Structures are given as structure tokens and as C-alpha cells.
Structure 1
Amino acid sequence: MILSSVRQFENIQAREINIIITPQFLMVEVISEKTDSYGFLRAFSEPRSKASVLGMNVGLPVGPDPWSELHSLLLKNWLEVCDNSHYDHGPASNSAKQLPTRVLYLGDSEYFDDIRLLVTKEGQNGRYVALSHCWGTDKFLATTMDSLNDFQNKIPFRELPQTFQDAIVITKSLGIQYLWIDSLCIIQEGDGMADWRRESKRMEEVFSSAYCALAATSAINPTQGFLKTRSQSQCVMLEDATDKGLYIYVDELSNKFSQDVEMGVLNKRAWVLQERALSRRTIHFTQGQTYFECGSVIRSANMTEMIR
């Protein structure tokens, strides 16, 4: 595994390689004429294990499946901790805000058969989630002047592209009834783009007032979806020969926020960078794992935490 961390820099002409060991990390430092590069191994223990009681960092070999109840509980916990502990933005995010001009009302049915487009009223407050996603080039279900009245009665869940279905599943699992998706909440055709010109001026308010944003970071278009099973990282369990039940895990550091999020396909779009900057909290669904980002901290589903 150490060799694997070193090999990722095989194309760098190094003048010095240092291996630095701490109780939580093994760091490979490669120093060249132009830049310094780093590779990490992570040492961690499972929650409530002997090693965690002794002070070892807590983590998971692989994050929970995105469809699982554990994943849903993790997202709720991230938001609740932010609501109650991050005083510069948490309470403001938790308070009910004026709903956007239109939102998807997700209803109470576990079968997703009472979803509809809700035209809100002035002073109608509530908590809602906003979706940030790539449009791609293929056509998908969207609100037009022809479909507006029908969508106010019902939006067929199974006719929605997978990314929108996934966003509905996550929003309902958070206990929130309202979801904002641009292509469904802004009229896309049939009015000479008048609604788009009007509503695009309110994008700042839509994202800054949302309870949180969901970022479909790994999906290049709405048909791909973002709730996908992630592969487990290469992981080794090390057990103390003198103390039965005392063990830790070592793996390549899978908390690659910069690679998964900053360099992801979604964040290559200029307007998405604006949406992310405006959102108080964003949950990023990447190919590697799920991340939570707010003004105070970045967390990952394998229970690694980075302070902002």
C-alpha cells in the first residue's frame, strides 16, 4: 500500500522522497524542482471500537450505500449538527424562508404518486431543497406552457429523469416536502422565455434561502442519476497481537474532496460555481462518496472531517 502511494508520483522527477508517520496518517512527500506533492494513507478505527476509545481517529472502510437508511441518517445528522452548532450560518439555514415562485410539492405518499408543481403565494414560507445538476444535451421532462396546468395537478415520478428521481428520494428522506429544480420550476418553452428571464434574476435568493443544496456532481446529464453504489477502497486490517479485539484499519486516503468535487464535471460549469457559492450547505454526490460542505466544515461519508 505504501508502494501504491509512492507510484502515483512515478512521472515526477523527484529529488527527495520522505515518508512521515503519525498516529493517524502515513504521508508520502515527494519533492521535485517544480513542486511538492503528497500521498496519504489513513489509519482509523470503527466507531465504538477499542481503538476509538483509546483515541484513534474514527472512520469507515467504505461509506454507507447511498440508498441505505444509514446514509439517510448520516445526512440528517450532518444538517442537524450544522443547525445547532454552526452559529454563523446554521440557525439561518434552519429557519423557514419565503418559498420560490414554484416548487415541487413531494407529498406524503411513499410511492411518490402525489408529486405536483406548486405555485406559491407571497409570504408562504417553508424549508426546501435546491438541486444543482448538469443539463447535458438530451431532452428530458421539463415544464412548458403546455404542461404547466397538468404538472400543477400531478408530475409522474417514473417519467422524470433519474437525477430528479434521486433528488426527490433524498429530499423526502430528510423530511422536507419541497424541492426546487430549475427545469421544472421555471417555464422552459412557450412563453418566449419571459418566465426564465424573470426567474433567473432570483437564482441568488433561491440557493441562498434553501435549507441545503443537493449537487449531482457525478452525473453529466439528468438521466444518469447520482445514488450509485461506490467501490470499496483498498483496505488492510491490522490487529494487535497482544490485545485481542484491538485493531485498526489502514487505507489510501479516500477523502479526495478536491478531486471528486472541485474537479468534477458539475463544477466545470460557471453557473454551478455560483450556485455552490450561494448555498449555505451543499451535499455533493460524487463517484467516490458523499460529502457535506458548509461554511465551517467538510465531511465525508467515510466519517473523515476537514475544517474549513
Structure 2
Amino acid sequence: MWRLAAWYAWTTDLQTYEYLPALPETCLPSGSDTNTGSSSSLSRIKTWLDICTSSHPACSQAGSQPPPLPTRVIAVGQKGSSRCHLVSGKKKHGYYATLSHCWGDSKNRPLTTTEQTLRSRQQGIEDEELPKTFQHAVQVCREIGIEYLWIDSLCIIQEQESQEDWAKEAPRMGLVYGNSMLTLSAAAAANSTQGCFEERLGLVFWPCPVVLSGQACYLSRYPTQEEELHGNPGDLERTLRNSLARRAWVLQEQVLSCRSIIFFEDRLIWRCATLSTNEKYPLGIPHAPNISVDNQRLMHCIINGIASFMPKDLGVDIYTCWYRMLEDFTHRSLTYDEDRLPAIAGIAKRFGVIVNDSYHAGLWRRDMILGLLWHPTSSSPTQTTKSARAPSWSWASLNCGVNYLHLLSAGSDAGRIPFSPLVDILEVSDPTTCENHPFGVTSKASLKLLGVLLTVVEDDHEDSGLALAENATRFAGNIEDYSQDISRWHSDSPAQTALVCLPVCVRHDPYHQGIRGDGELYKASWEKSLKTGVDEFKQFNRLFCLVLQAIEGKQGTYSRVGTCTIGKHKTIEISRMAFGERRSLTIV
């Protein structure tokens, strides 16, 4: 289906776009535009880059001076060159691009720099020695005039027994992508041999100029429902499906990069804080994007302080954006499970500055109550152990996806569901495990809390598999939705294992059974019930708990084994207990 688009400029809340004819002629497609790496495709990239750097205040890098170069970069050479060099970036400034790519399996390992090959890489690398993805990235830089290129496998020394270079460079990854002029994302390639460029017909995507009844017009494809509702150029779902988007390290690259050009199998997509578009809308979609549905761009704006771009009525809750990003991150793959914390450390460092908060094993001190209540997703593989790289109360201790859906707002609403804490955090002990990498590697943090402990047992006869041990009868349904962090059922295990339950908070749910209510009203009713014992809105107040197990030989010390919710008929009783005789406990 086609829609007529007027020849005059499209106007949005962000800016007024120039006439399409004002684009350089080299951008216009022709019958020979049959590849995403064609001369007209590369001209479009350069034009988008020029528009962004010259007329997007939110995207402009601070000052007019080029940024410091990373420790090592690839000098790509001029147009027509057939050789590039690995050079030192120490004490130098310049504009450079970064490559975001899939390493692939061991059979398709990308070209690397090792201690043995470092000297030869500095002497020069012929283009034909580079895998196709690297060749294409070098070609793009030459064509659009970016002097340097950073590729992780070539610019960080690999296969070191001591991992010394990786230990130094990993903490700098946030700066590498944050200072990059442009990130090139090879989204269609599963490994470095497949390249950035793909065959396609460029004319299919470009608005078609026609003359109807003497009036010059453009014909373009009718906007999709996604475009009409959210202002995204029909590529959000496609972005989430590609191979690159399934890599955990890439999320950091996507969020921290100032601007990106994404090479899909049939189109180019441009993304920056101000504009998310493709060749279907070469000068931008004709209405302002709803940034709240694109958490990556929203997080980019948050950590870069680009508040002027976000609508004033967005109602953004910064920590909610963090939790949504965590859900995305933990469902992505890592070649090395030990990278669970390092792969998100760059974002954490920037985020911590913005919220002025301290970071402990992947959780934030000022929002620790909610942060503790993650749970593994139902699609996660069965786990038998937790990793010692992080404390048991951290999502980073598991090698599976986690979510916070039970505590976050529904749909695209970025606000918070009101909740009331039932514990006090007395102390967070977090000894430094790596001086050069405080936001990554490992964490030996522990929590000292003040709260009430309820004895519980695992019970096959209960639907949840868990029951309150004191004053409880079977089939009472006192405990709901028991979610285990790891599989605790083994052939040599006893039928029942004594555990404890720590009430953490009460959620005042404004979305009960699909009906949006007033969470603050439910909260007020719950607070009143602490004195009266009667809650007129008890069905809207739900109690969330941690399930803990005592550590043998360490009095008052526990490890987390899961989460659960208390049945609504017990919320008032347990809430009143939680403010009664409390005790201090430590979770490690």
C-alpha cells in the first residue's frame, strides 16, 4: 500500500527536515544500487553523519577537539589504500570508528593480535588478510573520511596467559565506545567472515519522486503500525532479532555509542539520540519518536545527560530503565561466563555518576530493596550451582536470564509501582577485588539487614512447593509463586529442607487483574492496616520475600535460594510482624 507524501518539508518536535532534493545526488539510488555497501549507500552514511554532527545538539561531542584515542587503533589509510596499520593511540587525539561484530564459534575466530603477532600488525596488514567484516569496516572508514578504526580482537592483545592487556582495556570499553565518532554494527553477520554488506535492491526502500497532476510528490510505503504508534522506523523488532543483538557485550556497545550505523541484510539503519531512521525515511520519520519504547536509546540519553531530548511528561524512572536493560542483558549470550559483570561495567560506571549512587555486585545501594527481588526466567536452563563471582543475592551469580516484571510497570509505562519496604539495610560490605576494574570482574559483597525471619519448608503438597512451617496447614496457600534460583532437588536430598523467608516489601499494585487503579490509595490503606489490622484494599497489596538458607557454622549468615510471594490473606499479618521483633542478619 502506498501513501502520497508532500514535497514540502516534514516537521517534527525535534527539527524541521530539509527538502529531500537537498540531499547530495550521490545519495540517490540507481539501478546499480544493489548492495548495502554501494557507493550511494556509503554516501548516505556520510550524509547522516554530517547531519548529526552539524545539526543535532544532543549528539554533538563536547567541544570541538577530537577525543583521546584508545590504547591501540587501526590507521585505515586513505581512499584507494590496500593496507592498514595497528598504531599506538597513547597521548594522541583523533576521530575513530568502532566495530560491533559477532566473533562466531571457534571455527570462525576473527583475526586477532597476540604478543607474537603484535609487531607484524604494527608493520601493516594487507586488506586481503582481513576477514570480510573487517575489510568492509575499513572500507566504510576510508570512504566517509574517518582516519582510525577500533576492533576489539585486533586492538586488545588476545591469548595472554596473564590476561594483562584485557584487564587494562576492559575497564576502558565504556570510553572507547562513548568517544567513538561512529559505531559500525555488522548485524547480518554471524561471524567475521560474512561481512557487513549484503546484496539488495536499494530502489525498493527509497521514496520514489513522481509528478501527479503537475504536482511533484514522493511515493513511500505506508507506515507500519510500529511506525504509526511509536515513531520507530519499523526496525525495532528486527534490531532485537539479529545475531549481534544476542551478544551480551554488544548491549554496552549499543547503549554507549554516540551514533551507530547498522548493516542489516537488506537495509541500513541509522541510530543516534536525535534520530532513528533508515533509507525508507532518509531524512527521518515524519513525526517524533516515542523514546520510552526504545530502552537502549532512552538509557543512552540518561547516561549522557541528554534530558532536553526527552519529553517532559515521559515520567521516566531511571532505575526502572536499568532493570529493563538488565533483563535484556542477562538473556544475551557470553562466550565466557566470568564476563557477567565486566560486560556491563561501562554502562554501570556512567549510570552511577548520573544517579549519584554506589554499585554493589550489579545492584544499586539507593534502590537495593527492589534490586534484590530479581528472579530467573522460566525459560532459563536448570542450574545446579551458583557462581562465586558474585554474592548469592546478586543476579550476576547465575548464568541465566533474570527479570523484574513482577515489580515493574506494565506496557511502555516507565513509572514505578509503589512499594513499601519491610527491611532496613544496615550495611553493604563490598571489598575491592580489582583496583583497575571496580565495576566488573568479581564481587565479594555482603548485606547486613534488619528484618523478621519466617521458617518455611519445601512441601510437594503445596502448589507453590513451599509452606510456612509455623501455624500453617497444608493446602492453605500461604505462599505463592516460589521461584528457586537453582534446582534443589537431587536424588540424595531429603524430601523437605528447612529454609527461612525474609519479607522484603509490599507492592501496591495499580494494575490488579488488568484494571488500573490508584497505587497510592492502596498504599495508604495498607499503612492504616498496620494499626487497625484491616485493609479494605488487601487484594491490591502483595508481599514479596527472599527465601534464604542458613550457612553452616556462621550464625546469623544466610545465602539466597529464591524468592516467593505471600498470599494476600496473610499480607497484613506478616506486614505487622515485619515491624515487630526484628533481628539483624547477613546475606552473602
Shorter chain as normaliser: what TM range?
0.7 to 0.9
Report if aligned partners of 2:7, 2:217 keep a CA contact under 8 Å in 1.
no
Contact in 2 for aligned 1:78/1:292 (Cα 8 Å)? yes
Question: 2:121, 2:9 → 1: CA distance?
Answer: 56
Name the SS of the counterpart of 1:296 in structure 2.
coil
Distance 1:256 1:61 in 2: 21
CA distance in 2, matches of 1:235, 1:84: 24
Corresponding residue number in structure 1 for 2:128:
158
Please tell me whether residue 117 in structure 1 is matched to residue 86 in structure 2. yes
Where in structure 2 are the equivalents of 1:6-85 lying within 5 Å?
41-44=1-4, 52-53=7-8, 64=33, 65-85=35-55
Pick the aligned partner of 1:130 from 66, 89, 98. 98
Tell me the equivalent position of 1:282. Answer: 260
2:403 match: none
Alpha-carbon distance, 1:207 to partner: 0.1
Larger Rg: 2
SS in structure 2 of the partner of residue 192 of structure 1: coil
Determine if contact 2:185/2:262 at 8 Å carries over to the other structure. Answer: yes
Whether the 8 Å contact between 1:131 and 1:215 is mirrored in structure 2 is yes
In the alignment, structure 2 segments of 5+ residues that lack a partner are 11-18, 22-26, 225-232, 290-588
- CA distance in 2 between counterparts of 1:139 and 1:279 reads 24
Q: CA deviation at 1:92?
A: 3.2
Q: 1:189 to 1:208 in 2, by over 3 A?
A: same
Q: Distance in 2 between matches of 1:234 and 1:116?
A: 37
Does the aligned pair in 2 maintain the 1:83–1:94 contact within 8 Å?
Answer: no
Question: Aligned partners of 1:134, 1:224: CA distance in 2, in Å?
Answer: 10
Which range is displaced more, 170-179 or 92-101? 92-101
Question: Contact 1:61–1:302 (CA<8 Å) still a contact in 2?
Answer: no
Structure 1 contact 281–293 (Cα < 8 Å) conserved: yes
In the TM superposition, residue 248 of structure 1 has moved relative to its aligned partner by: 5.0
- Give the CA deviation at 1:95: 4.2
Structure scoring higher RCO (CA < 8 A, sep ≥ 6) equals 1
From 162, 168, 186, the equivalent of 2:156 is 186
| C-alpha separation in 1, matches of 2:222 and 2:80 | 39
Over the residues paired in the alignment, what is the CA RMSD in angstroms?
3.2
Q: Structure 2 CA distance, aligned partners of 1:104 and 1:178?
A: 5
| 1:23 corresponds to | none
Deviations 1:87-125 (CA, angstroms, capped at 9, x unpaired): 122243974100000000112261322x11001222x10
Match of 1:169 in 2: 139
Rounded to whole Å, the distance in 2 between the matches of 1:266 and 1:80 is 26
Cα shift at 1:234: 9.3
Aligned pair partner of 2:270 in 271, 275, 292: 292
CA gap of 1:196–1:237, structure 2 versus 1, over 3 A, is: closer
Q: TM-score, normalised by structure 2?
A: 0.40
How far has the Cα of 1:233 moved from its partner?
4.6
Structure 1 residues 190 and 94, CA, compared in 2 at 3 Å: closer, same or farther? Answer: same
Q: Distance in 1 between matches of 2:280 and 2:40?
A: 12
1:132-185 residue CA offsets vs partner (Å, 9 max, x unmatched): 011101223210111000110011210111100010001111101100000000
Shift of 1:44: 4.9
Question: Contact 1:127 / 1:178 at 8 angstroms: preserved in 2?
Answer: yes
Distance 1:236 1:176, change over 3 A: closer
TM-score, with normalisation over the residues of structure 1? 0.74
1:276 and 1:72 map into 2 onto residues whose CA distance is 21
Aligned mates of 2:126, 2:248 — CA distance in 1: 31
1:222 to partner: Cα distance: 0.6
8 Å CA contact 2:198, 2:266 repeated in 1: no
2:578 matched residue in structure 1? none
Is 1:101 aligned to residue 71 of structure 2?
yes
How far, CA to CA, are the matches of 1:144 and 1:194 in structure 2? 12
Structure 2 residue corresponding to 1:89, chosen from 54, 59, 80: 59
The whole-number CA distance in structure 1 between the counterparts of 2:163 and 2:183 is: 25
Aligned residues: 260
- Residue 147 of structure 1 corresponds to 117
The residue that corresponds to 2:279 in the other structure is 301
Q: Could you tell me whether the CA contact under 8 Å between 1:95 and 1:127 is conserved in 2?
A: no
- Runs of 4+ aligned structure 1 residues displaced above 4 Å come to 57-64, 231-241, 244-248, 252-255
Contact kept, 8 Å, 2:79 with 2:142, in 1: the verdict is: no
Distance 1:160 1:44, change over 3 A: farther
Amino acid of the structure 1 residue aligned with 2:7: S
CA drift of 1:236 comes to 11
Which stretch has the larger CA shift, 268-277 or 67-76?
Answer: 67-76
Mapped to 2, the partners of 1:196 and 1:54 lie a distance apart of 49
